[in-house]
Amino acid sequence: MQQESEIREPLIIGSKSYHQISEDIAKPIEGKASKHWYMVLTVSVMCFIWGLVCLTYTVITGVGVWGSNNGVAWGWDITNFVWWIGIGHAGTLISAVLLLFRQKWRMAINRSAEAMTIFAVLCAAIFVLLHTGRPWLDYWLFPLPNQFGSLWVNFNSPLMWDVFAVTTYLIVSLLFWYTGLIPDFAMIRDRALKPLSKKIYSILSFGWGGSARHWSRFEEVSLILAGLATPLVFSVHSIVSMDFATSVLPGWHTTIFPPYFVAGAIFSGFAMVLTLLIIMRKVYGLESYITIKHIEYMNIVIIATGTIVGIAYMTELFISWYSGVEYEQYAFLNRAEGHYWWAYAIMMTCNVISPQLFWFKKLRTSLTFTFIIAIVINIGMWFERFVIIVPTLCRSFLPSSWNLYQPTFVDIGIFIGTLGMFFTFFLLFTRYFPVIAQSELKTILKSSGQEYKKKKEPRSLTP
């Protein structure tokens, strides 16, 4: 009896050489953008401008133009803040954690995921700055020497932890993203024909020469930043959850929030990465590098995190019943059967049921199905944040303060503006920056390239 050794599926499809990888990755930058790219960019910029108009109107008029009221002080804006921060988690996870675990499949998708992190955190920051009411005084959030006497921030507040956690996360993610881009900027620099382009990419590449010393420093810095970024993946959304968990409101003060929020953030982040990758894969012809196997690996992560989120939902319901506290029981009953039951139903359907369909290999390897489910998951995760915040505040301890929340056109306009901002930045990124880390991709060509795997004869064992 003969047994063949198992060989992993290739991560680079087709007969590719080092030069061909450079050609394929540089093509979107050196070639002309398609009319579809300009059409999508136009729509994104228009949404971005509308958001800026709504932001300006808010600053001039005041946050009273939002739907927030005496009962629901945290409404649409904080829902969007938590949603955007969650989306920003997958990029650092793919880049930092998978780098530390030496996972080869990260190399084709980490660049887009890192860029997504930067843009998502910037979108989230807009809601935080506006929620303070007077953004021109936001520098008070930092412990700076000032002339106001004993005016110091309250370091016991999780809102204060948010400022430092999110700021640190943004800085480390930005450094990690830019460090990985340096060898690729040098590749574009060496290929550039126009003097202006050559000058710009020369500045961006910091004089990269590709020597052994340069690569040694590159590896060291990448590992250090990955080591710094990994705990941030878990700390940032844990601290965001503390904004709720340290309160006294039923439905919020629960110790399950930190792991529950982290799992949900990775869940929604991976869904957004899939949404972007599937489109980018088709538009830029990167099917050889972003393969079905990459999509399947990410769908497996979605199964795992989606299951954790579902368990967290069930745990909350069980603990509220087991506690015997009528306020706690009512809080969760109101979520499921109150005025916002429809939002709760959307949340459960999108986040608990839909990802379980990926247990079927045929479905988790289908690009069309994956794209649809990724969008469904992002919708569901937005409604999860809405369900946690709005129904809880609509029914607080005082029945006299009970009311319903309804966003205004300004709320909706600002959110649409952040979507436009996100896609505008991402489209510009794909046009002028290498969307795949070609320098890292080349390191796995001979071990994970399809052409090289064919040359390796499977070893047989004879008894």
- pLDDT (average), residues 235-247: 86
Q: Is 29:433 a contact under the CB 8 Å cutoff? A: yes
User: Max Cα separation, the chain?
Assistant: 85
Q: What is the pTM of this model?
A: 0.88
Q: Tokens 């972003």 label which residue?
A: 290
Report how far apart, in Å, the C-alpha atoms of 365 and of each of 110, 278, 293, 300 are. Answer: 20, 12, 8, 10
Q: What pLDDT is recorded for position 463?
A: 46
Q: What pLDDT is recorded for position 442?
A: 83
- Distance between CA atoms of residues 93 and 36, nearest Å: 31
- pLDDT (average), residues 399-421: 89
Give me the residue spans of the domains in the chain: 17-135+154-441
Confidence tier at 461 by pLDDT (50, 70, 90): very low
Q: What pLDDT is recorded for position 5?
A: 38
Q: Is 444:293 a contact under the CB 8 Å cutoff? A: no
**E strand or H helix that includes residue 413:** helix 409-432
- Distance between CA atoms of residues 366 and 358, nearest Å: 10
On the question of pLDDT at 191 being above 70, the answer is yes
SS3 helix, strand, coil % of the chain, rounded to 5?
75, 0, 25
Structural fold of domain 17-135+154-441: Formate dehydrogenase/DMSO reductase fold (1.20.1630)
Percentage of the chain exceeding pLDDT 90: 25
On the question of pLDDT at 329 being above 50, the answer is yes
* Overall residue count recorded for the chain in this entry: 463
Q: Is 222:99 a contact under the CB 8 Å cutoff? A: yes
Confidence tier at 460 by pLDDT (50, 70, 90): very low
DSSP class of 460: E
Q: What pLDDT is recorded for position 457?
A: 52
Q: What pLDDT is recorded for position 129?
A: 80
Confidence tier at 458 by pLDDT (50, 70, 90): low
Report how far apart, in Å, the C-alpha atoms of 137 and of each of 133, 141, 288 are. Answer: 9, 8, 50
Most confident residue range from 61-70, 298-307, 327-336? 298-307
Q: What pLDDT is recorded for position 4?
A: 32
Least-confidence region, from 9-23, 37-51, 403-417: 9-23
- pLDDT (average), residues 108-123: 88
- pLDDT (average), residues 107-119: 87
- pLDDT (average), residues 276-293: 87
pLDDT in tens, 368-406: 999 999 999 999 999 999 999 998 888 877 787 888 888
